[in-house]
Structure 1
Amino acid sequence: MYISNETIDRFIKEDVPYIDLTTLVLEIGGQKGKIQFFSRENAVLCGTEEVARIFNKLNINVTKSCASGSLIKKNEIFLEGEGSAESLHIAWKTCQNILDYSSGIATKTKNLVDKIAAINPNISVITTRKNIPGTKELAIKAVIAGGGFPHRLGLSETILIFKQHLNFLGGIDGLTEILNKVKSKTCEKKVIVEVEDLETAIDLSKKGVDGLQFDKIPFNTLKRNVDIIRDINPSIAILAAGGINENNIEDYAKTGIDAIVTTSVYYAKPIDVGCKIEPF
């Protein structure tokens, strides 16, 4: 995952626009110390590489670091560094926030992936682009660390046709008239259409779309829909989206779809990461 130096600098600058006033007035900034991060719960770790880069910016020497994607145990120390008390205190909360947030997403993603794998390991957990504004880079990295995959990284990447697009084409009939033209322009990409009813899905399956994304369909209805669509076009990709989370994902995994699209991981409970800073 590429995260620019400008982003790393912004993470630091948001918390320390000028000085660490507390460390300054206590006159402890020049003392040497060490910082340790640990988790108060079992988790999938994420964000340590970004924290190491923050350490480097602040002249903190990394003495221990576990990689993103590592499974960590409660109270396990997974990251350590040494430097001046001023630098350690500047790094503290910025780094803790990154680790809390990223590891929370990674842990929740792995939970979903594991639930699905127990039923059908060939189904993917993929995430929407409805991430919290300003968090996309960390969020996508965390999803991957947890074993998921981004559904769409942006509008430039994939062709996903919504009702909002169809309104300008005159509906499904308008789309089917130009479908071959659309596919010929982007022969290396799949054309996927979001659908909300079986009739539309059947029509599009017969007309040659590469994939269907069923939105907000109850899992018991979806299972019937998938069976019908597979009889028409066995090779078509079928995705399910809308309100899928850890409470119902196993039911959706039993429907015969290829992938589950979710936003829920972006709102995962942060992992409770602790920090110790001590002189040496």
Structure 2
Amino acid sequence: MTHTPLPDLILEPLVRAALMEDLGTYGDITTRTVIPADTRYTARLNARADGMASGLQIAALAFRLIDSDLKVTAHKSDGDSIASGDMLMEIEGRAASILSAERVALNFAGRLSGIATLTADFVAQAKGTATRITCTRKTTPGLRLVEKQAVIHGGGFNHRFSLSDAIMIKDNHIAAAGGIRSVLQAVKAQASHMVRTEIEVDRLDQLEEVLDEGGADVVLLDNMDTPALRDAVKINAGRLVLEASGNMGIDRIAEVAATGVDYISSGALTHSAQTLDIGLDF
């Protein structure tokens, strides 16, 4: 599947920060000590497990930021299915430069490919339905942008990126504001016409209250069992977008998607993904 990459300009601050963290105050003293400056090599970034690729654009950027003379040749792209043994990219040039960028490149590629791979597994469980799999804001601080991009590479969709993206009324907002009708009336009175509104409910009578009051575009059905989700779809009758959330492990995805909800959101996509094994070989 083809994916439009983000501009390097957006990604560069994240990669620079990671490189600075790894280089410390005095750079790569091991490489500087034992590798002659004029030593040149060709290294290969290889998959050591099956999965979905993500973070390859970032890995390539890490090598180029360390040394703009390195020649980086991509053999796989973000969003590609990969198999153990596949060569993902080749890096040619100064051996010292390759070694100094190696860990940052692998950290990004492994972490993000793990997210893409888990997302693809979730998406496969919903195959044959119209339900979309989406992530949450349960991301690693500072890495939300690239982790959410990895979800896209795995075939999923993105929820909001920040608190400023949309009005999302959770149970604590409802409690503090005095109830569902109060918060929805405030939305209708004050919200911009350009902003979408989602509201969380955990009971079917609350869903009916939302439908009666109006003012929402999306309803988050929180921690409902499968029969309740099925009833919610019937009650809603296509009026609002429905998102099922809460304890959405991969073992529940198929049955929840079969209820007819529009979206299933799961924090597990980003907070519980295992790093995919990717290595750099000289």
**Fold shared per TM-score above 0.5:** yes
1:127 aligns with 2:135: yes
8 Å CA contact 1:48–1:65 kept in 2: the answer is no
Cα deviation for residue 142 of structure 1 reads: 0.4
Alignment-derived partner of residue 203 in structure 2: 197
Equivalent position amino acid for 1:99 in 2:
A
Q: Distance in 2 between matches of 1:180 and 1:9?
A: 43
Contact 1:128 1:262 in 2 (8 A): yes
Candidates 153, 161, 172, aligned match of 2:169: 161
1:250 and 2:257 matched: no
Distance 2:41 2:240 in 1: 59
> Which residue, out of 224, 229, 233, partners 2:231?
224
Structure 2: distance between partners of 1:27 and 1:107:
36
Q: Secondary structure at the match of 1:117?
A: coil
Aligned partners of 2:133 and 2:197: how far apart in 1?
19
Separation of aligned partners in 1, 2:184 and 2:281: 61
Structure 1 residues 179, 95: closer, same or farther in 2, change over 3 A? closer
CA distance in 2, matches of 1:72, 1:273: 11
Q: 2:119–2:154: 8 Å Cα contact kept in structure 1?
A: yes
Deviation at 1:31, TM superposition (A): 0.6
Q: For the structure 1 residues 24 and 31, does the alpha-carbon distance in structure 2 shift closer, same or farther, using more than 3 Å as the test?
A: same
In 2, Cα distance between the equivalents of 1:193 and 1:70? 35
* Residue 88 to residue 176, structure 1, CA distance change in 2 (3 Å): closer
2:3 is matched with which residue? none
Deviations 1:31-73 (A, max 9, x none): 1011111111221111111112122122221133421001112
Indicate which of 20, 31, 41 corresponds to 2:49. 41
Q: How does 1:1-280 map to 2 (within 5 A)?
A: 1-2=6-7, 3-17=10-24, 18-59=26-67, 60-118=70-128, 120=129, 122-182=130-190, 185-208=191-214, 209-230=216-237, 234-266=238-270, 267-277=272-282
> How many residues are treated as equivalent by the alignment?
270
Q: Is the 8 A contact 2:126 2:254 kept in 1?
A: yes
- Give % identity: 26
1:89: Cα distance to partner?
0.7
Q: 1:108 is matched by which residue type in structure 2?
A: L
The one-letter amino acid paired with 1:236 is L
Query: C-alpha displacement at 1:190, in angstroms?
Result: 2.6
What code does the residue aligned with 1:109 have? T
- Structure 2 unaligned residues grouped into runs of 5+: 1-5
Secondary structure of 1:189's match?
coil
SS at match of 1:260: strand
Listed as ranges, the gaps of 5+ residues in structure 1 are none
Let me know the Cα RMSD of the aligned residues. 1.6
Where does structure 1 differ by over 4 angstroms across 4 or more consecutive aligned residues?
Answer: none
Rounded Cα–Cα distance in structure 2 between residues aligned with 1:76 and 1:46: 14
